[in-house]
Structure 1
Amino acid sequence: MTNPRPRVAIAGMSIESSTFSPHRSGWEAFTLRRGDDLVRHYPFLADGAPLRDAAEWTGVLQARSLPGGAVPADVYESVRDEIVATLTAQQAEHGPYDGLLLDIHGAMTVVGRDDAESDLAAAVRAAVGPGTLISTTMDLHGNVPRELAQASDLITCYRMAPHEDAWETRERAAANLLDRLRAGGAPKKAWLQVPVLLPGEKTSTRIEPAASIYADVTRVAELPGVLDAALWVGYAWADEPSCRAAVVVTGDDEEVIVREAEQLARQYWDARDDFAFVAPAAPYDECVATALASDARPYFLSDSGDNPTAGGAGDVTWTLARLLAEPAFARPVEEGGRTAIYASLPDAEAARSVAASFAAGGAGAAVDVEAGARVDDGPHGPVRLTGVVEHVSEGDPDAGIVAVVRVGGLRVILTERRKPYHLERDFTVLGLDPRGTDVVVVKIGYLEPELYDMAADWMLMLTPGGVDQDLLRLGHHRLTVPTHPFHAFDAEPKLRAELL
């Protein structure tokens, strides 16, 4: 007897990787999930969830990493080849899959290769054949070259930045896939790229014009004859020809999806000069002076140039070196100084050294350690942390060893491995009180929701690094010409959608 439920595979590889960072995202950067472990990773596929019982889900392989530098070719090719080999073997044993959920980011750079996700999608398509529906789910900071859109039957991305709808988007991609398996196969796709490339900190949906544009994406998705609508900002910190904004509207009414795709693209193009930073943005000196002069506590400063969640190496010390030299933080509070937290600086050797001092002398043990700039020493070399260790913990699933070193009124979080600090508990588990601290400096772009809610005020600090917000000083030279704001335009772009 034939099982009435469709058979759906899950596979993918997800990372956002800056070509301007010397960091390399090798095997140590990736979490690999297979089989039931991969299926259970998706909350909407938990036991008892409606989508869980709507299909037979098979986890093939999904490799996921914190953003970082480019992926070595052998790492990417091993993941791709395992996905292809597993799909081929499973289909030889059980027959073709009805559908496949392809979970990617869209901004993966592989050393020596352009458009890695297009290569992955093409390999997956070749493995499953034309009869399997592929639904691709992506980050809105990904790139969508024609080849990627062509290889996918359905394709969608987040509609919020920060990405509070990440799981909702994956669920939508899965639900759309099941809907089309029940009701009519692959829809049409209206695809076009928009010659604009901006950083996420200028395109946050918290503010205009992105707030209104993405509200319109939702409106389009709900029109009769439309299945889904998606608008990608693109990834600004890679230097590849595909890096630019893109629109895809999927559905069965060709006239509607083409019209609406072009209308969304036109909105985005027309607003290109209206996008602004999501918060007041300024160089280091102005940001620190403003924070110290303000009565708002805690005052958050975003060390944006080395944001590990955008692809920065995470160990750039340019900002920390200046904080260590700030008179307000050099003095202990009892001597009239101010308090600050710096989150964070990865350096395995330094973290182990501080942990050894803590083991020998406990909290308050003196430390004198050189740290940082082991990977990205372009903006500044290592810094010297001369102070006392207040806390050490081991076994953090992301950071490994975590130490808190106090230098005057400044507490530096030193980690064995890169880790973003997005949650209040990331600080409190270390004995730190961010709410009671004068200035909290985090390596991030726009503040994630918990930090945003915690901050009495904040600024985006324009600092150097692999994800520098000043795109023009990074040196892109491989973008498709013309792309705003890198090139002048002789005429308005045509912005005509192609039916795929």
Structure 2
Amino acid sequence: MTSTAPADRPRIAICGLSLEASTFNPGATTIADFHPRRGAEVLDQRPFWGAGGALADAADWVPVLTGRSIPGAPVPAADYASLKAEILDGLRAAVAETPLDGLVFDIHGAMNVVGMDDAEGDLAVAVREVVGPDVIMSTGMDLHGNVSWRLAHALDLLTCYRMAPHEDALETKERAVRNLIDRLALPPEQRRPLKAWVPVPILLPGEKTSTRLEPATSLYARVPRIEALDGVLDAAIWIGYAWGDEPRNCCVVMVTGDDQELITREAEQLARAVWDARDEFQFVAPTGSLAEVLDIALASDARPYLISDSGDNPTAGGTGDVSWTLGELIADPRLTDGDVTTIFASVHDRQATDACVAAGVGAEVTVPVGGIVDPGPRGPVEVTGRVAHIAEGDPDAEVEVVLAVGRLQVIITRNRKPYHRMADFERNGLDAPHADLVIVKIGYLEPELYAIAADWMMALTPGSVDQDLLRLGHTRISRPMFPFDTGFTDPDLHARIVPMADQPVGQPG
């Protein structure tokens, strides 16, 4: 079937669900957490296809539904089923109106649905069944996503970020769309590239694979050089999602293009380079226990000194309500009674937030904080302090409270919220660049935090994204897997050519 779009523009649908979900997070990511966008709202999400965008007139866009949640917990089966059904119904209506030429599948790649493996693969297969075998489907994913054989088969064009932190996220999303538009300009029989897929038995946290340092810097620098080869369309390294306990969770290398011999060779060489570097991956910053890191920070003259509270990082899948670090901080008189100004962001606790709001700014309160969704090793922590500030209206947190315990300023939120931007602190009356210590639930520092840090360390703290993967207790990942197993040195790294989406999926050879 051919498009009937005006001026021969391709007709391209947009749909998808984006979530990074720790299977060790005991909470739930619900429909509301996805902040679903429908119709024109979908186009507003990306500047390149929105009004006046560079690709606005490149296609007849058919926006169906997209949802994007802060990383967190698995999705209840009923919530996923509801969103999936709405996407499929929207696609059926679109196809019934006029045949589609292409589809943008907007995903992260590490979503988990309760009772299901490979949620993105499940959704991709269902979408493919609705739109049919001739529609070209493209995705731009997070490099911490996972590419199962099933997902690689259902989609035609796959690419992912090349930077961690993900400063190229929007660029990657646009590249996925441009790749799609370029392929749709070819004759139908030439549109689908070949895909060389290589799973690499490595599963490491993002904090050990940041492109800010070696070996990831050099490994990811190879990607655009491979992409530039004649006969190659795209190259990608998905380092994978370490806090997902599913068989699909591992590193995957893919090279796509029209020259099978070339993409096979390049995929295998890149996969071998990743494997050979496995022992070289290291944390992006010096690490230690919270006590060790605090001692070093307080003894340092560097200000502000930033500390990552890494085990409950809400942008990696933590609940945001683990209170263990908070308990340690309020018990340390150097932070509460001395002359050190410390900011701690944040702890998610609806009841504590509402109690502080009810008391009002200036009130002295005693409230239990955190430890509800994920009790961790401590459970709720009783905090006595002064309500120093209340902010309302943040789309994620909804309500934020600054509770001052002496010189320690603790941000408590009604809903989960990461603190990566200076605006987040300014909105709460906090001057992060001029504080002595800024302690944030995060792993590697996002750009604005990195820019203000005179020095920083990462505290290895408990939570559902604990950096000590062996301590978490994975039971369902494929084995052997580095670093869970270290006695194997010669894994199978040959490239499998993925069947075209209009061919039977089969099994990886």
Question: Scaled by the length of structure 1, what TM-score is found?
Answer: 0.97
Q: Is the 8 A contact 2:204 2:240 kept in 1?
A: yes
Q: Deviation of residue 19 (structure 1)?
A: 0.8
Answer yes or no: is 1:35 the counterpart of 2:39. Answer: yes
Shift in Å at residue 401 of structure 1?
A: 1.2
| Residue 141 of structure 1: aligned partner | 144
Residue 159 of structure 2 is matched in structure 1 by 156
Q: 1:234 aligns with which of 237, 240, 255?
A: 240
Contact 1:117–1:148 (8 Å) recurs in 2? yes
Which residue number corresponds to residue 294 of structure 2? 288
Match of 1:23 among 27, 31, 43: 27
Q: Which amino acid aligns with 1:79?
A: L
**Counterpart in 1 of 2:470?**
472
After superposing the two structures, state which structure 1 stretch, 238-247 or 22-31, moved more: 22-31
SS of corresponding position for 1:52: coil
Deviations 1:268-310 (A, max 9, x none): 0000000000000111111000000000000000000000000
- Aligned residue number for residue 128 of structure 1: 131
3-state DSSP of counterpart to 1:69: coil
* CA–CA distance in structure 1, aligned partners of residues 155 and 262 of structure 2: 20
1:78-477 alignment runs, 5 A limit? 78-94=82-98, 96-183=99-186, 184-331=190-337, 336-358=338-360, 363-477=361-475
| Residue identity (%) | 58
- SS, match of residue 396 in structure 1: coil
- Aligned with 1:54: secondary structure? coil
Q: What is the Cα deviation at residue 490 of structure 1?
A: 4.0
Secondary structure at 2:36 match in 1: strand
What is the identity, as a one-letter code, of the residue corresponding to 1:301?
I
Q: After superposition, what is the alpha-carbon deviation per residue over 1:101-137, rounded to whole angstroms, capped at 9, x for unaligned?
A: 0010110110000011110110011111111000012
TM-score normalised per structure 2? 0.95
> What letter is aligned with 2:454?
A
Deviation at 1:416, TM superposition (A): 0.4
Name the CA distance, whole Å, in 1 between partners of 2:48 and 2:39. Answer: 16
Task: State the alpha-carbon separation in 2 of the partners of residues 364 and 117 from structure 1.
Answer: 48
Select which of 77, 81, 95 maps to 2:81. 77
**What is the aligned partner in structure 1 of residue 506 from structure 2?**
none
Query: For residue 11 of structure 1, what is the aligned residue in structure 2?
Result: 15
> Distance in 2 between the 1:488 and 1:386 partners?
47
C-alpha distance in 2 between matches for 1:491 and 1:247? 18
Unaligned runs of 5+ in 1: none
Quote the Cα distance in structure 2 between the aligned partners of 1:194 and 1:490: 13
Indicate if the aligned counterparts of 2:62 and 2:94 stay in contact, CA closer than 8 A: no
1:2 offset after TM fit, Å? 5.6
Unmatched tracts of structure 2, length 5 or more = 499-509
Residue type at the aligned position of 2:61: W
Distance in 2 of aligned mates of 1:182 and 1:291: 57
Deviation at 1:464, TM superposition (A): 0.5
* Distance in 2, Cα, partners of 1:59 & 1:197: 35
Q: Is 1:482 paired with 2:484?
A: no
Q: Which runs of 4+ in 1 moved over 4 A?
A: none
Following the alignment from structure 2 to structure 1, what is the Cα–Cα distance between the partners of residues 458 and 489?
34
Q: Deviations over 1:458-499 (max 9, x none)?
A: 001100100000001100011101110112444501200011
Query: Do the aligned partners of residues 339 and 172 (structure 1) sit closer, same or farther apart at CA in structure 2, a change above 3 Å counting?
Result: same
CA RMSD of aligned residues (A): 1.0
The number of aligned residues is 491
Deviates more, 1:430-439 or 1:97-106: 430-439
Q: Deviations over 1:174-225 (max 9, x none)?
A: 0000000002311111111100000000000000000000000111111111
2: distance between equivalents of 1:490 and 1:281?
28
> What letter corresponds to residue 491 of structure 2 in structure 1?
P
Cα pair 2:31 2:83 within 8 Å, conserved: no
- Report if the CA contact (8 A) 1:9-1:59 is conserved: yes
- Paired amino acid for 2:311: G
Helix, strand or coil at the partner of 1:45: coil
Q: Please identify, of 78-87 and 225-234, the stretch whose mean Cα deviation from structure 2 is larger.
A: 78-87
Provide the C-alpha distance between the structure 1 equivalents of 2:489 and 2:339, rounded to a whole number of angstroms: 56
Partners of 1:39 and 1:58 within 8 A in 2: no
- Rounded to whole Å, the distance in 2 between the matches of 1:50 and 1:390 is 45
